[in-house]
Structure 1
């Protein structure tokens, strides 16, 4: 394996940090001291890597000078960038102008990722939250945008544009990872695998964020059915978990965030399956609600314990197979 349990890059997501400062300025335009305050919290929780989630700060929209300032702040806090995650910027948005702008932004983000020394850019096809989703207690309680079914033109456009981004990433020596998300062309294992195969680039793979799927208030397959088919293509991984329940008397579903070891996804089993399939990419710990960063830190420590338990046996099995 390329990493040990202790040095495997496990980054903190920045979902819980707002995109405006306390005095109302956009984080994008804030002085580096504002960035440093957030990254200090991340480092203080024991993280050595961060996923620069662009709901907080958009590296792809920083000037070269500001990007250098971000690199300096990261270095001051001894934080590597495990990935940059591009969120809710679909390159096949129904509005052609928005879709084209999103592709240009994704390409700029790939260039910024190379400047920051990361190895992964994560993107998806999910779209901005609807007004109903923003009003909901948890946004996944309400349906969001969806990609059109049986639409060869839109499918081909997704393949073409994501291949363009993948080719840009390859020129920089980066991976492009496509995030599984409901009701998009990455919303189930079969279509996600088909999309990656149609793109046809070795550096383009799947982020199996099955937490996005098990939280839905509707019937969903068992988590292992969602994970197993995509494992040969996994090159990055957002991990999070949810408590899930169903009341047959009323037909009501229930889902709320949970720590990794407490929800319906058995990450001890899931990580073992991924490692045995050859997964070697960075991991990002996510959590919605409460102290998301603190829960993510606990999730990181749990993952390191699992890696310490799993890696020796997997290494031994591979040495035996090679002999």
Structure 2
């Protein structure tokens, strides 16, 4: 057993870089191929599900910006004021504005969750259908009916875990704020782990949409499937997060100013640059679902091949 394992490790060493490159090539070329082969399904998903989701998220960014600025201004003035009475009054106003901001986010959260759930399940179903078969509107509707409860539960678990995690690097950095040489590496490492967690949670959502798994079990299976390809998937997730962040930053720069908010959300989206970002973000939602599904299928098929063809030699590798 040890000789076979050492032989397999020696064979895998020189092909590690080529394997990573082949994974990248399969993800990006495969996503384009799947999209154009099933464009009769993906285009309605984009028009009726992904674009409304993009509109809601970007319009929330516009609507909440004045409240965020006002809260930041009140808290900054409260820290600089000379009397405790005025400071308490300003902090009270800040809390009231924060409650208004929370209500606004809750108002957007329900329709955003609805469109996000439907677009995710639809895109994953279409991307996961094997090549001999072709997805249809009826099969997509059936997949939504069967999987929406599992995906909803897994998404709530993912959201809770993500909110719990993002507080940790900030707490450590705040505790070490007097030691910048320590706080900066904490933030950098924490950001890298945050992206890795996003990749794991994305795979967990795909598991819940395709398999009869949900919640923490689906997230655990998604983490296990990444064995041997964790850095590759982390890098792909970094690219997706980077593109999404660029869209958000560019959108904020284009819509910066009170005249955009006063003119109305729909008028803002009618400008050609912001309309292009709106479409781009909707397409990114579909594209990220396809890429995640391809990576899930590749990892699943790789583990199945390892178990079926070389069970004794690969048990240890598949379990890692």
For normalisation by structure 2, the TM-score amounts to 0.25
Higher relative contact order (CA 8 A, sep 6+): 2
- TM-score (ref. length: structure 1): 0.24
Flag the structure with higher helix content. 2
- Give the number of the structure whose alpha-carbon radius of gyration is greater: 2
The structure whose residues are more often strand, as a share, is 1
